[in-house]
Amino acid sequence: MAELGVNIDHVATIRQARRTYEPDPLWAAVEAQLGGADCITMHLREDRRHVQDQDLERVKAACQVKLNMEMAATDQMVEIACRIRPHMATLVPEGRQEVTTEGGLDVAGAGPRMAQVTARLQENRIRVSAFIDAKADQIDAAAAAGFEMCEIHTGPYADLFHEFGGDLANDRVAAEVAAIAESGRRISQAGMRFNAGHALTYVNVAPIAALDGIRELHIGHSIVSRAVFVGFRRAVTQMKRLT
């Protein structure tokens, strides 16, 4: 069974829509833990569109499970991470105009910088993951840069799953699952942990959760969406049963 990392960014998105004090991401972190979450994930973006610095600080102080900080590989974010010291940091690409993260981090194109950032975080006892596409050159570059984990970007799989009505026998869907599985094997053979995430839902998560060697699944939007109707704790528990 894969561990479940619950991304609570979009609780903060709802709050920031009104620039008020509710809903509080800290409450979501507590409810997620009570629902069975193994990890809390928060993306502190450079434009602070949802999670704020104090959110990360408050959740770190109260979190009884692993805290994963998603972050761009900028000097500012590295300094913040080294000060707050989450248990884990996931380096992601970041664009100011994107709605959500689009595509994986280009580790192969920025190897020296990635190695520098990874080493700095590890010096502060933060384990480091790379959010990458299911490509051999990116996995090899992540290993060379010293990453301890790779989170495979499952967005392309999720898009195809939706396009073809969840038909796992469809050639394009099956090929995407196979590519993720092969990436997982390559990650494990390189001595890194195999994680996955992005656009995973209650409907499409099972084939990814069933892959050999997968350690963690990081899921946010689908859980927050279901929580609107069933409550946060119950939404997390329902997803945990699927992973």
**Model pLDDT, residue 103:** 81
- Which residues partner with 90 through β-bridges? 70, 129
Residue segments in the chain with a per-residue pLDDT below the cut of 70: 95-102
Length of the chain: 243
**Model pLDDT, residue 107:** 97
**Model pLDDT, residue 71:** 97
Question: pLDDT tens digits, residue range 103-159?
Answer: 899 999 998 999 999 999 999 999 999 999 999 999 999 999 999 999 999 999 999
Q: How far apart are CA 116 and CA 87, in angstroms?
A: 19
**Model pLDDT, residue 95:** 63
**Model pLDDT, residue 101:** 57
Packing angle of the helix pair 221-230, 232-242 (nearest 10 deg): 130
Task: State the amino acid at position 8 in one-letter form.
Answer: I
Tell me which residues are annotated as active site: 43, 70, 198
Q: Which domains does the chain have, with CATH numbers?
A: 3-242 (3.20.20.70)
In the 8-state DSSP scheme, what is residue 177?
H
Global pTM? Answer: 0.95
**Model pLDDT, residue 238:** 98
**Model pLDDT, residue 205:** 98
Q: How far apart are CA 138 and CA 127, in angstroms?
A: 18
**Model pLDDT, residue 159:** 97
Lookup result for tokens 């580790």: 107
H or E stretch covering 66: strand 66-71
**Model pLDDT, residue 97:** 57
